[in-house]
Amino acid sequence: MKRVIRNITVAGMLILGLSFTSCKNSAEKDADQMTEQSSGEQDSHPEGGMGKMDHAGDSESISEDNQVKTTGMAAFGDKKVADLYDTYLEIKDALVATDSKAAAQAASHMVSIGNGNVTSIAKQIAESDDINVQREAFSQLTSRIEPQLKGTLASGQIYKQYCPMAFEGKGDYWLSDSEQIRNPYFGNQMLTCGRTEEIIKK
């Protein structure tokens, strides 16, 4: 009987080990794909390089009639809010890359935009070089910026995404311009952990 129990225990440990290895390999594969994509983007900018992350790119425009500014897939009736969202995405991407310096730089830009509701939180990110401190502040930033985005969204959509494992299993949200999951709370450790909880539309 003891031998049967021992065999079952060993088999269970082997299954758990294989599952962990598979999850790890998947994360490493995602990281490799991100690196290859990043290299391809840099090659396509031979003169000036990438520099600052830019989600708006060529799609950013301001209508002379209604002053709607487009950022990626979302357009806002308030230019300042559009700038906040664009900078928020820069901070998110820096956290996905576990780049505390880039996160601080983007947050400094958000502080300069001057929005009282989010400035104090952005300042916490800008003044820290600890990626964990920045991620905790980013959680608060998400909560504060979401109502502003919803209130001025003119067209397009924003993806509200959720990771149940964030902050020791408490779970937390972030906003994205893409349905693809890129987790800012874990980076490459759990890059694709999460799901889209809500698609915010006008």
* Model confidence pLDDT, tens digit, residues 145-174: 999 999 999 999 999 999 999 999 999 999
What pLDDT does residue 120 have?
A: 95
In a domain, 1, yes or no: no
Looking at the structure of the chain, the number of domains it has is: 1
In a domain, 37, yes or no: no
In a domain, 36, yes or no: no
Locus of tokens 């890059």: 191
135 membership: H or E segment, kind and range: helix 131-152
Quick: pLDDT tens for 75-96: 999 999 999 999 999 999 999 9
pLDDT band, residue 68 (cuts 50/70/90): low
In a domain, 103, yes or no: yes
Model pTM?
Answer: 0.68
Domain of residue 153 covers: 57-201
| 9 or 149, which is more confident | 149
Quick: pLDDT tens for 168-201: 999 999 999 999 999 999 999 999 999 999 999 9
Residue 51 has pLDDT above 70, yes or no: no
In a domain, 24, yes or no: no
What pLDDT does residue 56 have?
A: 37
What pLDDT does residue 106 have?
A: 98
In a domain, 133, yes or no: yes
In a domain, 48, yes or no: no
Q: In what order do the strands lie in the sheet with 153-155?
A: 69-71, 74-76, 153-155
Q: What is the Cα Rg of the chain in Å? A: 20
In a domain, 137, yes or no: yes
| 36 or 101, which is more confident | 101
Question: Which residue type occupies 16?
Answer: L
